[in-house]
Structure 1
Amino acid sequence: MHVGNARYLKSTDLPDVVPVFPLSGALLLPEGQLPLNIFEPRYLAMFDAALAGNRLIGMVQPALQAPESAAGSGALSQVGCLGRITSFSETGDGRYMVSLSGICRFRLLEEVTSGKPYRSFKHAPFMADLTGEEDEDAVDRENLLRVFRSFLDANQLEADWESVERAGNRVLVNSLSMMSPFGPAEKQALLEAPDLKARADTLIAITEIVLAQGGTDNEIILQ
């Protein structure tokens, strides 16, 4: 997989230890683009270190049962996604505007003590994400687009349908999953789907439940 100016094809192309950025409700998937507004000092330090090094950051949600205030020190979800900083700017008031490009999902292993203000973990990458060995043809594209259109209509939203039609199934499913306005549990379910078809089916199912509840975008919480 090419991300920015780098190529990631095998596990040895990735570091054994990555810094993690816990952020509730954020979803990064392979080939996706996640914009971030960085302002906390510990995460400014994290991005400074990443920019000076391999530019890699692990996005992960706090454990779903954990309070949001515990994101920096509490339990984390076990599956996240590794991203490369591909866009970076300073705002002039101490913040960074960053874009992360998704590389591959990972499973957290043990935490590594570093003495730094942010957390770092050993991780196990999802190799299928690096190789792209997914059956894109297994995705029910017609049903996915039907549900997507219904959701847009219910919320009086528009889409660039020309770009949607041009997108391959992998980009389409991952982009729609990241753009979806659902809650942390739904985002984690989409992240942890075992393959592309399962992610598409999960996205369809969640959206259909929301539509059945009246079409609003954040009334469903997975149990």
Structure 2
Amino acid sequence: MMKAAKLPRVIPVFPLPGALLFPRARLPLHIFEPRYLQMVEDCMATPERLIGMVQPITESRLSAIGCAGRLTAFSEMEDGRYMITLTGISRFRIGAEVNGFAPYRSFEVSWDSFAADLGRAEHDPALDRAAFMALLRRYFDNVGFETDWDSLHGADDELLINSLSMLAPFDPEDKQALLEAPSLSTRRETLVTLMEFALHGGTNEEMM
């Protein structure tokens, strides 16, 4: 487990709409753009091997909060593309952009508000698993998702809620709300609201 004192103050960021990472979760990525191929190569040369996943707002503006992952798996394809896996370490707040010669963007970041991310897995004591799974089944049927229900039933609270937050086809704004939830219980409540809203045929404009 990485200690707060070991977290760097400047990290490269990968803005990818709809791609969420949470502490202790794993995110597989297919890297093919030249600038991000360079980012991966530079990342592997650092002791921390961290990349920050961030939701873009526009082409130039990024969301204020992202999550950094440690590069824990890497393979190179015959055509030069990379398949990597990031394991979530901690969320961060974006600060000033650091200008340099790299083709990708790097930022000063603050980890101060997210000390709990470096601790043990969270639990959701208010989770009614039977009701939650029933809602989830209705939602998956509605969006045409298939899953391994036995694995979901056996997953611990954090793995269940965070994995669903990462995989569900919500809009980037909704994904960001899930990422910024201050606790696992709040994230689960947000997830329930989003699924119920989708089942009732709501739109983002109505939600706002």
TM-score, normalised via structure 1 length? 0.85
Q: Counterpart of 2:12 in structure 1: which amino acid?
A: P
Equivalent of 1:78 in 46, 60, 64: 64
* Counterpart position of 1:105: 91
Once the two structures are superposed, residues 24-59 of structure 1 have per-residue CA deviations (whole angstroms, 9 ceiling, x without a partner) of 111111122211111111111110011121221000
* Counterpart position of 1:56: 50
* Counterpart position of 2:18: 25
Superposition misfits of 4+ residues, deviation over 3 angstroms: 132-135, 219-223
Q: Counterpart of 1:185 in structure 2: which amino acid?
A: E
Q: Counterpart of 1:139 in structure 2: which amino acid?
A: L
**Deviation at 1:20?**
0.4
Paired with 1:112 and 1:21, the residues of 2 have a C-alpha distance of 14
Aligned-residue CA RMSD (Å):
1.8
* Counterpart position of 2:164: 176
Unpaired stretches in structure 2, ≥5 consecutive residues: none
Once the two structures are superposed, residues 146-196 of structure 1 have per-residue CA deviations (whole angstroms, 9 ceiling, x without a partner) of 211111222443321221122110111101111111111111111111110
**Deviation at 1:87?**
1.4
Instruction: Work out the percentage of aligned pairs sharing the same amino acid.
Output: 50
* Counterpart position of 1:3: none
**Deviation at 1:135?**
4.5
Alignment: residue pair count: 204
Task: Map residues 159-198 of structure 1 onto 2, 5 A cutoff.
Answer: 159-198=147-186
Paired with 1:165 and 1:220, the residues of 2 have a C-alpha distance of 30
- Of stretches 190-199 and 139-148 in structure 1, the one that deviates more from structure 2 is 139-148
**Deviation at 1:113?**
2.1
* Counterpart position of 1:11: 4
Change (3 A) 1:27 1:133: closer
Is the contact made by 2:121 and 2:158 (CA closer than 8 Å) also made in structure 1? Answer: no
Q: Counterpart of 2:25 in structure 1: which amino acid?
A: G
Unpaired stretches in structure 1, ≥5 consecutive residues: 1-6
Q: Counterpart of 2:76 in structure 1: which amino acid?
A: E
> Per the alignment, in what secondary structure is the counterpart of residue 80 of structure 1?
strand
> Per the alignment, in what secondary structure is the counterpart of residue 37 of structure 2?
helix
Matched, 1:128 2:91: no
**Deviation at 1:140?**
3.7
Change (3 A) 1:186 1:177: same
Q: Counterpart of 2:125 in structure 1: which amino acid?
A: D
